[in-house]
Structures are given as C-alpha cells and as structure tokens.
Chains A and B, each alone.
Chain A
Amino acid sequence: MSRILIVEDDDHIRSALRLMFEGEGFIVDDAPTGEVAMAMFNRMASDMAIVDIMLPGMSGFETCHALRSASDLPIVIVSARDDTADVVLGLESGADDYVTKPFVPEELLARVRAHLRRRPEKSTGAFKLGDLHVIPDEGVVRLADGAELHLTSTEFRLLTDLASNNGKPLSREDLLERVWGYDYFGDSRLVDVHIRRLRMKIEPDAANPIFLVTVRGTGYKLVI
C-alpha cells in the first residue's frame, strides 16, 4: 500500500483528494501548509507527494525543495497557472511532474500511479561517462573517487533510458512515455527541464554538453 502526502491549503480540494486517493487504496497524509507537511514527512515515510504551489507561508517551491533535500520520493506539483515560468520554477525546485488546476482527477491518479510503478530500468549494463561510473543495477552513479553522485529517480531513469537506446536519439515524446509513463498529455518542458538538471550534474560544462546532446528536430541522445 502506498503512502501519499498531499499539501494543499484549500480545505475542500484537500478533503476531496483525500477521499479519492483513499478510495483508490492509498494511505493519505494531508497538510494545509508546507510547515505542517514537513513535520509530517519527518515522522513517516511517504512514497509520493502532491504539492500545491500557492501555499500560505512556506511556498510550494520551498516545500518541494525541502522534500527533495530529504528524499528521492516522486513529487507532483499542482500549479495554478501553466505559465512556463511557474512550471519551470516548480520543476527546478525538485518536482518530477506537474498538473495544472483545474486538473482532471483521473489524470492526477494516472500520473501518481505511473511514478509509483516506475522501478529502475535494468535493460542496460554499467557504463562510463568520462570520469563518472553509472551502475544501473545498484541505481547509483559514482564519481572517479568512488563517492556517490546523487540523482533523483527521474533523472536516473532518464539517463539509463537514453543509454539503453545505444547512442540513437529519443524524442521528447518517447522520453515522456518511457520515463514518466505517459501515453497522453505530454509536455515537452518536463523533459527539457530534467535534461537541464541532469546536465548540471553529469556534464563538465552544462552549457556545452558532450554526453547529453540535443539533436535538433528530434530530441536527445547520450554519447557514451
């Protein structure tokens, strides 16, 4: 049974979400503010979080950031607007995915399930990216000195999926399907922001990537 943390200041929406997720068999913790959510999160291990961006006090972005610092759990943000700036800022603060209000409840459920279903892909063996050693079996990336480079599960999945395609490019839609588990409602910004975040971590110079390369008109490929 999965445990889900819902951070939403609107009482009605929060109650409705709790009812819906409980009806689908989840254990639900709900919090009206980021502060309460963090206190709850520290007491119990959630598998998943849904965070509203517009929160009183500690903002949704800050809550995402705090959750991400503490854990790799998948975070879906609920954005009031799907302005690029808001979405990108939310993803940059550590969220894996987003939905905009008013969202279709089934869509939110589908996304949550897709994130929970996701397990590290083991279709590819260990490989090296410059000084980095990627070991999919262990789900870790090690630096030259053996220390672990921290990637979120979404970032790790993105990296290994690109690696398993043997240097051939994958389109944004392919990546959405493989990494996020969408078969509809794709948003290429999700891919772009995660690629950027991944580059910051694995590329010697993120502005001039040598491993994670953009293929214009197609998508991205990994040069091993």
Chain B
Amino acid sequence: MRRRSLRLRLLVTFGLGAFLLSSLVATLTYVGVQRLLINNQQQSDLGQSYVNAALVRSTLYTSAPEITDLLNSIQNASSSNVLVRTHGEWLARSTSASTYDVSATTIGIVNDGKATEQTLRVNGRIIFVVGVPIPSAETQFFEVFQLSNLEHTLRLLLMALIFGALATSLLGLSGGLWVARRTVRPLMEVSTAAALIADGALTTRLLVNKADREVQQLTESFNQMVSQLVQRLERDARFASDVSHELRSPLTTLATTASVLQQHRDDLSLAGRESLDLLLADLSIFQSLVEDLLEMARSDGGVPPVMETMPVIELARQSVRSAARRHGLDEPPVEVANGVGDPLVRVDRRRFERVITNLVDNAHRYAGGAVALRIDVAGNVVEVNVDDAGAGVPIEESEQVFERFFRGLAAHDRGIARGTGLGLALVRDHVRAFGGTITVSRSPDGGARFQILLPLVESEAS
C-alpha cells in the first residue's frame, strides 16, 4: 500500500465526513419536508375537490348549460383545472384544462364509482389529480391541481440545504486542517529533533507541550529517552577514555623496557632476539592503537577543536611534509588547480595535520602510497583530494572504510603492515568537527580519491 501523508488523511477524513453527514441530513430534511408539504397541500386540495364536486352535481341538476361557467369560476377560485365526463364523453372543462392530465386508470377507477386521487409528475412538474364520481348523473368529476407554489418553496429549501451542506463541508475541512496541524506538528517536531540528534546535536530537546496530555507524554518520554541515550554515550566514551588512560602507564613501561632490551640485544640468544623483534613490532601497534583511542576519546568526549582561520594550501603543504617525515616516506606533491587563489578554511591545525597524516599513511599502507594531494575550489567549498596509487576502494566499502575497526579487502591482503583500524574513522570525526565532509571515490589516475570538502571562509575573521 502506498504511504500517504497523515496530514492529508486527516484532512480528507474530516472533509469527506462532514460532506457525507451534511448531505445525508440535507437529503433527509428535503425528503421529509417535501412529503409533509405535499401531504398538507393534497389534504386541503382534496377537501376543496369534494366541495367543488358537490357544486357541479347540483349545477348539473339545476342548470346544466351553465356548467362550463361554473368550471371556469372554480378554476379562477382555486387555480386548478376542472374536467367533467358523462357517459364516457368529456362533457365540459375549464379553459386551461387538458384531458391528457387525467390518466385512463384514474378514469376507470372513478367510472367504477370510487373516488380517487393521484400524484403525477408531468414534464418535471407535480400535479395532483382528484377524481370524484357523481353516480346519480352518471358523471365523473376531475380536478387537476398544480403544485407549483410548493415547487418554488421546495426549490428554495433545496438550495438552502445544498448551501448548508457545502458550508458544513468547508467547516469540516478547516476543522480537519486544524486537527491535522495540531496532531502532525508534534510529530514533525519529534522527527526534526530526532534528525538533529542523529546528526550529533545531542543537546537537542523538545519543548514540553502542556496543551495536550498525549503530546506532553510524547515530548517528555522523548526527552527522557534522549537524556538517557546521551548519558549512556557519555558513559561509553568515558569508559573507552578511562581504559586508554589506564593503559598509558604500563604501556610506557613496556615500551621503555623493550628499548632497554634492545640496547642489550647482543647479549640475547637468537630466540631471545626474535622474540624481542616480535615484542617491539606489536608494542608499536599497541602504542598507535592507544594513541588513536585517546584521540578518539577526546573528540567523543567533546574536547572542542581549536578552530583557526588558515590558508589551506600552506596548511596542506605543511601537513603533507610532516606526514611524510613522520613515516619516512616520499613527500607527495601538492597540486593546486588553476585559478585557485589562496583560499582560507577554518580548522583545528593539529587535527587537520592528523587528518592528512592518516590519509597519507593509509595510502602508503594499503594503496601503494599517495600520488598527490590536489586542491580545488568549487563555489564556496574547498576540495582537498588525497589520491593514491592503489586499486581504488570497492563501492560497497566506500561507507564502511570510515567505520571504527573496519578491515576492508585491502587490509586482508598479503603482508600488509597492520594499522589500528581507527585511522579513517578519526579522519571522518575530525573533518566533521570542522563542518566538512569526507567521501571516497575514484581518482582520475584510477586509484582511490579521498575527498575532503570544507566550507570556504570568505575573509579572515579576526
């Protein structure tokens, strides 16, 4: 089933509901009033007809030739058409009367000596036909009433009812709009807040709405959930940080004593020297791991970056230089696209250096080294691309490579020096702290391209 907007659904429900209900009420009212009015009219018309029939009978007895005049005077008095039939022939009728208005059935019934009445619709008009037998003169009296006055009233009523129904529907629609807004707004607020929190704005809370009990409950339990989540996150971060801090002292002792052993390497047996090499190799991984964990705990624990406005090209050059020196690698060239002046960015100098160091180190470890660091400006965004000489990152790993302790295909390759599994995760954390993004794609040379996008700073904010 297709998912529809709750707002729309509420709106449609209310609008349609109001329309159906008001239509039903209008129809019932119309039908009821119509029946009542017609009945009343027919009752009075019927009484009138009997009186008129009596008049016709007496006139037939006394002065038959004047019958037409009488019929015309009846027509004038009660605005009905009157017809008289004797021995199967029409004897007389008032001026505007038509024999078509009286059906054969009606004539038959009256012929049999019974009074009858019939309501007909002719050409959209309602007529009421009354037939009265006058057996003593073998005559039948018919009176045809037009219910035109009634029709006018009914038409007015109908219009009033339609207008009423439409007004009610509109009212229902606006009521629906109000309810929808009132119902949906807290939901939208919750969803906006949740999105903010997911983006890392952990201090986001909902305003407690006291107007509706249910909404108040929702906002309160939402806020409570976020608080507990934040507490838990902080506890986890603190735990990781505490563990790493506790590891520092024994690790320092281990590393120092291992280097003392290294000083006495010549006194050791072959097995002793081999063991020492293994020990030194793993100590170095252990050390990097604890360093990365501490760095991560700092950014998790909310030690704010020291943001400075800096020229990105110079900063990148320095970072590449110190990254290359740190690992004893060849310094990859920094290439600046044509027309790029001296763009400024706002970053934490140390963390930016760390980002470049980790990317260069990553390229060296898994992808045959960094080919170049390329800088470009697109609109108000500064691009810093670190391109490597590897086979590229498989598309399905392009998100995962930034996850903590993720090991991709490249990391499982033969004989690659083990990293800590935290390098790229730290890179992403730092870049995000600068308000930037990092993605991995393919470089023009075919290797992987780690692309950092940073907001361009227009002029130096002192």
Binding site for B on A (CB under 8 A): 10, 12-13, 16-17, 19-20, 23-24, 80-81, 83-84, 101-106, 109, 171-173, 183-189, 216-218
Chain B residues contacting A81 (CB-CB under 8 Å) are 294, 298
Q: Which of B257, B264, B318 makes the CB contact (< 8 A) with A172?
A: B318
A102 to B290, CA, bound (A): 8
Name 30 interchain pairs, CB-CB below 8 A, sorted by A: A12-B249, A12-B250, A13-B249, A13-B252, A16-B257, A19-B257, A20-B257, A20-B259, A81-B298, A101-B251, A102-B255, A102-B287, A102-B290, A103-B252, A104-B287, A105-B256, A105-B259, A109-B259, A172-B318, A173-B318, A173-B321, A184-B325, A185-B326, A186-B322, A186-B325, A188-B318, A188-B349, A189-B350, A216-B311, A218-B314
- In the assembled complex, how far is the CB of residue B361 from the closest CB belonging to chain A, in whole angstroms? 13
Counting CB contacts under 8 A, is B291 at the interface? yes
A16 to B252, CA, bound (A): 9
- In the assembled complex, how far is the CB of residue A92 from the closest CB belonging to chain B, in whole angstroms? 16
Interface residue count on the B side (C-beta < 8 Å): 37
Chain B residues contacting A217 (CB-CB under 8 Å) are 310-311, 314, 342
Chain B residues contacting A106 (CB-CB under 8 Å) are 259
By beta carbon, the residue of chain B nearest A189 is B350
A83 to B295, CA, bound (A): 10
Asked whether, in the complex, the Cβ of A20 is within 8 Å of the Cβ of B248, the reply is no
Instruction: Give 20 A-B pairs besides A101-B249, A102-B287, A105-B255 with Cβ atoms closer than 8 angstroms.
Output: A10-B253, A12-B253, A16-B252, A16-B256, A20-B257, A84-B306, A102-B290, A102-B291, A103-B255, A104-B287, A171-B318, A172-B318, A183-B325, A184-B322, A184-B328, A186-B322, A188-B350, A189-B350, A217-B311, A217-B342
Chain B residues contacting A218 (CB-CB under 8 Å) are 314
- In the assembled complex, how far is the CB of residue B445 from the closest CB belonging to chain A, in whole angstroms? 28
Asked whether, in the complex, the Cβ of A20 is within 8 Å of the Cβ of B256, the reply is yes
- In the assembled complex, how far is the CB of residue A180 from the closest CB belonging to chain B, in whole angstroms? 13
Counting CB contacts under 8 A, is B459 at the interface? no
A109 to B257, CA, bound (A): 13
A199 to B294, CA, bound (A): 33
On whether A104 and B342 interact (CB within 8 A), knowing A20-B263, A23-B260, A173-B322, the answer reads no
Chain B residues contacting A189 (CB-CB under 8 Å) are 350
By beta carbon, the residue of chain B nearest A177 is B325
Chain B residues contacting A184 (CB-CB under 8 Å) are 322, 325-326, 328
A58 to B298, CA, bound (A): 27
Asked whether, in the complex, the Cβ of A17 is within 8 Å of the Cβ of B311, the reply is no
A5 to B251, CA, bound (A): 22
A72 to B361, CA, bound (A): 38
Asked whether, in the complex, the Cβ of A80 is within 8 Å of the Cβ of B245, the reply is yes
A171 to B314, CA, bound (A): 10
A110 to B403, CA, bound (A): 35
By beta carbon, the residue of chain A nearest B327 is A184
Asked whether, in the complex, the Cβ of B321 is within 8 Å of the Cβ of A23, the reply is no
- In the assembled complex, how far is the CB of residue B317 from the closest CB belonging to chain A, in whole angstroms? 9
- In the assembled complex, how far is the CB of residue B9 from the closest CB belonging to chain A, in whole angstroms? 54
Q: Which of A16, A20, A102, A186 has the most CB of B within 10 A?
A: A102
Asked whether, in the complex, the Cβ of B263 is within 8 Å of the Cβ of A24, the reply is yes
Chain B residues contacting A105 (CB-CB under 8 Å) are 255-256, 258-259
Q: Which of B248, B252, B257, B349 has the most CB of A within 10 A?
A: B252
By beta carbon, the residue of chain B nearest A108 is B256
On whether A83 and B298 interact (CB within 8 A), knowing A102-B251, A102-B291, the answer reads yes
Asked whether, in the complex, the Cβ of B263 is within 8 Å of the Cβ of A13, the reply is no
- In the assembled complex, how far is the CB of residue B219 from the closest CB belonging to chain A, in whole angstroms? 37
A95 to B250, CA, bound (A): 25
| Per-residue A-contact encoding for B289-326, CB less than 8 Å = 1, 0 else | 01100100010000100100011001000100110011
| Per-residue A-contact encoding for B251-276, CB less than 8 Å = 1, 0 else | 11101111110011000000000000
Q: Which of B248, B298, B303, B349 makes the CB contact (< 8 A) with A101?
A: B248
- In the assembled complex, how far is the CB of residue B420 from the closest CB belonging to chain A, in whole angstroms? 13
By beta carbon, the residue of chain B nearest A192 is B349
Asked whether, in the complex, the Cβ of A13 is within 8 Å of the Cβ of B264, the reply is no
A83 to B350, CA, bound (A): 10
A95 to B176, CA, bound (A): 72
- In the assembled complex, how far is the CB of residue B323 from the closest CB belonging to chain A, in whole angstroms? 10
Chain B residues contacting A183 (CB-CB under 8 Å) are 325
Q: Which of A10, A20, A104 makes the CB contact (< 8 A) with B249?
A: A10
By beta carbon, the residue of chain A nearest B258 is A105
- In the assembled complex, how far is the CB of residue B273 from the closest CB belonging to chain A, in whole angstroms? 16
Asked whether, in the complex, the Cβ of B255 is within 8 Å of the Cβ of A104, the reply is yes
A47 to B263, CA, bound (A): 23
By beta carbon, the residue of chain B nearest A186 is B322
By beta carbon, the residue of chain A nearest B247 is A102
By beta carbon, the residue of chain A nearest B245 is A80
Chain A residues contacting B264 (CB-CB under 8 Å) are 23
A106 to B257, CA, bound (A): 12
A189 to B460, CA, bound (A): 21
Chain B residues contacting A23 (CB-CB under 8 Å) are 260, 263-264
A-B interface, 3 closest residue pairs, ranked by CB to CB distance from nearest: A16-B256, A105-B259, A23-B263
Asked whether, in the complex, the Cβ of B303 is within 8 Å of the Cβ of A83, the reply is yes
A16 to B256, CA, bound (A): 6
- In the assembled complex, how far is the CB of residue B240 from the closest CB belonging to chain A, in whole angstroms? 14
A80 to B259, CA, bound (A): 21
Chain A residues contacting B258 (CB-CB under 8 Å) are 105
- In the assembled complex, how far is the CB of residue B347 from the closest CB belonging to chain A, in whole angstroms? 13
Chain A residues contacting B260 (CB-CB under 8 Å) are 16, 19-20, 23
Chain B residues contacting A83 (CB-CB under 8 Å) are 298, 303
A24 to B262, CA, bound (A): 11
Chain A residues contacting B325 (CB-CB under 8 Å) are 183-184, 186
A83 to B460, CA, bound (A): 25
Chain B residues contacting A216 (CB-CB under 8 Å) are 311, 460
A12 to B310, CA, bound (A): 43
A187 to B318, CA, bound (A): 11
Chain A residues contacting B306 (CB-CB under 8 Å) are 84
A168 to B249, CA, bound (A): 44
| Per-residue A-contact encoding for B401-428, CB less than 8 Å = 1, 0 else | 0000000000000000000000000000
A1 to B248, CA, bound (A): 31
- In the assembled complex, how far is the CB of residue A15 from the closest CB belonging to chain B, in whole angstroms? 8
Chain A residues contacting B326 (CB-CB under 8 Å) are 184-185
